[in-house]
A and B are shown apart, each in its own frame.
Chain A
Amino acid sequence: MLSNILIAISITLMYSAPLTLAAMGGVISERSGIVNIGIEGMMSIGALAGATVGYFSNNAWLGLLCAGLAGAIMSLLHAVASITFKSDQTVSGIALNLIGPGLAMFLSRYFFNGATLTIPVPAKLPKIISLKSLQNTAFSNLNIDVTVILAVFVVTATWFLLYKTKWGLRIRAMGEHPAAVDTLGVSVYKSRYFCVIASGFLAGLGGGTVTLAIISQFTPTAISGQGFIALAAVIFGKWRPFGAYLACLLFGFSQALVVMLGGGTVNIPSPLLAMIPYVLTIIMLIVFVGRSSAPKASGVPYQKGER
């Protein structure tokens, strides 16, 4: 029993870490008023950059950093389009979702002789708690990646930034009424650039977490929809850091449930098991969460001086 609980905790935390990082990116960007539907694309590019740099440099940490930077560079495209050019944020986000996975696979083929799988990194990111030494006891099942801690740290930092600093107040206000912030002499453009790039960095980290901590290489299906799940978590959590984190934990827990129920103890076809997280989410939405209201100015390009 204890060992089952510990396995469940380990899997939940493992799967929720990349989602959490990406979702925090989504929260920051959307609170500043920029819809970020391109998380999927940024995660993909991060996943590839992480695995590639991790493999060639033999240093997973350097890989993770580059994953973040790659995501940030991608997000710069989104920032230029949606802030400077004031174009439709949904459209440029979708464009990133097309470019990201495409470019990731293209580069994978380029660096690894035509293969869409990169060569596994020699050393994954370390585990913070790994009690393999206590063999034959239940505790040997508890495995916690360092990225789990990173995720918790980022959630706390995002919360602190948004709710406990002057800057955060401005960012939140920008998502509701940018002109009001502008009249106080704060540059809406600059701050939004910061928020979008930060969101790209975090989404990239999320992608790198997948390929450097969970699996050890980039595969065409490494991200496959996790960016959208992170986006869903942002809305689920009502654009709040801890809300989104809880949503990510829920998705992670559902994954754990699937893994554990799939172990053969219950006789349910595996596709039906895999459906559970999504059905559960919809039920949770109806029963507990309800009306989702986005930041008011989210998705509206800001034009200085316009009434």
Chain B
Amino acid sequence: MKILGENGLGKVLKLFLQICFFGGIIVLIILPFLLQMVGLHLNASAFIIYPNGIALLVIAYQFIGLFDSLKKNNPFCMENVKRLKNAGIASLAEALLWGMDLFVQTVLVKSFEPISILVLLFMFILFIGVAIALYILSELLKQATNYKEENELTI
């Protein structure tokens, strides 16, 4: 299967991310009503769920743009460098939110459920890793874009 171009893998991934993006927006909007239907309420957890959801939507939005550029056969551009950097910042925000959640649960609420702590710790480390990886990738893409520009302007 083709990776770049009009009918490449980028198009499939973009479609998948678009579904996630718009689905995510709808879920965030109707979440209080959904919970009400099953007899639950959004109280303090809203402070964790909504910022997390928004950060994930930002990451999805950046990647939609990135895969769109794959479709247009133009992956090496400064816009993509910016997109990767923005996604990295959103990942860092996500990691901080999970870290905050871990802090609230262990220090303030003093709940020491091992599974819950492990999940929160895993998410915190995972998103820190993703943020670092995205930052490194954005720097790589920046260098590649500069090389491409230099090559194109060599006559």
Partners in one complex: no
